[in-house]
Amino acid sequence: MTGKVWLVGAGPGDAGLFTLRGKEVLESADVVVYDALVGKSILNMIPERAELIFAGKRSGNHFLKQEETNRVLLEEARKGKNVVRLKGGDPFVFGRGGEELELLAEYEIPFEVVPGVTSAFAVPAYNGIPVTHRDFCSGVHIITGHRRRDHSYDIDFDALVRTRGTLIFLMGIAALPDICAGLLHAGMDPQTPSAVLEKGTTADQRRISAPLANLVKECKAQAVETPAIIVVGDVCALSEKFFWYEKKPLAGVRLIVTRPKESVSRLSGMLRQKGAEVWELPSIATEPLTNTTAFQKCLLEVAGGSYDWMVFTSPAGVRIFFDAFLEKQDARTLYRTRIAVIGRGTRNELGRYGLHADFVPSYYDGETLGKELAGHCKPGERVLISRAKNGNPALTVELNKVDGLKIKDLPIYETVYVKSRVIDERAAIEKHLIDFAVFTSASTVKGFVNSVGDIDYSGLKAICIGNQTAEEARKHNMKTYVAEKATLEALVDCVEKTAAELRLT
């Protein structure tokens, strides 16, 4: 059986610019062949089951030659696999997408193209540069600044100057002196506004603006790095009026979110809304323990009304318990059972099953939950705690202070450590690429350290949801900042406040 190839554009870097269709296709992939310029947050969307093949392709450095990449796509598809060729930007805008389809067409391999947001338009937009404006120009032209080795430029600079439109050069930083000289020699006004836009739509975004005649000198002085694009035209002058990305409170901040994969999206979305570049690097995952005799017996006991209280300490616990319970039992059997949860997130997860939490502590941690719930329990009542294996003992210590209270502490899942397959977290920390690591539990800290290994964490700033999480981070010499409340909203506020304070010092 022949497989199929999807040529997918990943956009310029910001995960929010990855298309819905691209994400849908990526989730069904058996094999992903990806480039170096694909955003880290997008790489983390690749399903665990998919085989990864790195095709490289950065300026002057190709891990796989183009012909080898073409052959890989063909061979994997002929094995009957769903193959996603994941490329930065748009695959048909100087992405050599057409070349990659030629071999597939020759061998009659089915394929589809999923366009991506091209950096030619997105990066100027993130820098406040509209590539067209009726008061300045009537057209825009995209030109490759890359030339084949030992070949001269095949660019008609005279024709480009005559268009009087916005000129956008992709992959042209190495050739910047030649491009500027070519335009000037063709008669372009030396004072024409121009800009080099470095690492657009990421936390490292930077704009170097100068008149065309001074652009090379200015870029050399500021040590411009790739990837970057060159924009030449009067619209560049609008950037000082229209820039907006830098105004976001977390613009320029890159951080790691370590929540489990199934729980990470809301927190990441809140941080991205404020301008942060978020790398979703779950450090823990949950593995259900629902096939045990003890768990199956407990389901029957709950349905029979054997417990006065059910206690949940995480959204994962709620999800795992009720997914199993509702397969065989009716939620109406719970009418006599009261439910306590550790915090807002767990309460919200409970609501997804049409259930209401009868008790939520004033502070969202195990010790407070135990202390305050103890005041609502009576001697002789039965309490079921459904949570992770090796859960925080503070909860049961406090509940055991109630004379005659019968407690069943049932492990329904265990926490396992996970590691990213596509991002070298250790290198990112050692190279100081990460501004903050955001931790929502002590377990996420442990999982993160387990993934990264034994390094110096003293330069890493840890944003922690509570004191127990911060205590774990301090064990590894991380600089800790604690949210005022154990909520995602307070956690995001802590990131924003800390970022602002550090920029002032």
Are 235 and 276 in the same domain? no
pLDDT at 56: 75
Helices (H) and strands (E) in the chain — how many of each? 19, 20
Helix (H) or strand (E) holding 468: helix 467-474
Does residue 411 share a domain with residue 357? yes
Alpha carbon of 345 to those of 262, 271, 374, 440, 496: distances in Å?
13, 17, 21, 11, 21
Q: Is the pLDDT of residue 387 over 90?
A: yes
DSSP class of 402: S
Query: Which one, of 16, 76, 19, lies nearest residue 50 by Cα?
Result: 76
Co-location of 129 and 183 in the same domain:
yes
pLDDT for 364:
86
How far apart, in Å, are the Cα atoms of 381 and each of 139, 161, 401?
A: 76, 84, 13
Give the length of the chain: 505
Same domain as 192, residue 162: yes
Q: In CATH, what number is assigned to the domain containing residue 474?
A: 3.40.50.10090
- CA neighbours within 13 Å on the CB side: how many for 9? 21
Of the pLDDT bands very low, low, confident and very high (cuts 50, 70, 90), residue 505 is very low
Instruction: Read off the pTM.
Output: 0.86
Q: Provide the number of structural domains found in the chain.
A: 4
Contact yes or no for 137/238 (Cβ under 8 A): no
For residues 367 and 371, give the distance between their C-alpha atoms in angstroms, rounded to a whole number.
6
65-69, 79-83, 359-363: segment of lowest average pLDDT: 65-69
Residue ending a domain, among 380, 396, 415, is 415
pLDDT at 241 > cutoff 50: yes
Q: Give the CATH number of the domain where residue 196 resides.
A: 3.30.950.10
Mapped onto helix, strand or coil, the DSSP state of residue 446 is: helix
What is the CATH number for 36? Answer: 3.40.1010.10
Domain that holds residue 56: 4-116
Residue 306 has pLDDT above 90, yes or no: yes
The reply to whether 278 and 425 lie within a common domain is yes
Residue type, 90: D
Tokens of 282: 């779950």
Other CB atoms within 10 Å distance of the CB of residue 190: 11
Residue where one domain finishes, among candidates 415, 445, 469 = 415
* Residues known to be catalytic: 35, 57
39 and 86 in a common domain: yes
Query: Are residue 333 and residue 372 in the same domain, yes or no?
Result: yes
Q: Are residues 400 and 427 in the same domain?
A: no
Q: Are residues 99 and 143 in the same domain?
A: no
Q: Both 274 and 321 in a single domain?
A: no
Q: Which of 64-68, 278-282, 478-482 has the highest mean pLDDT?
A: 478-482
Of 89, 73, 103, which is closest to residue 6 (Cα–Cα)?
Answer: 73
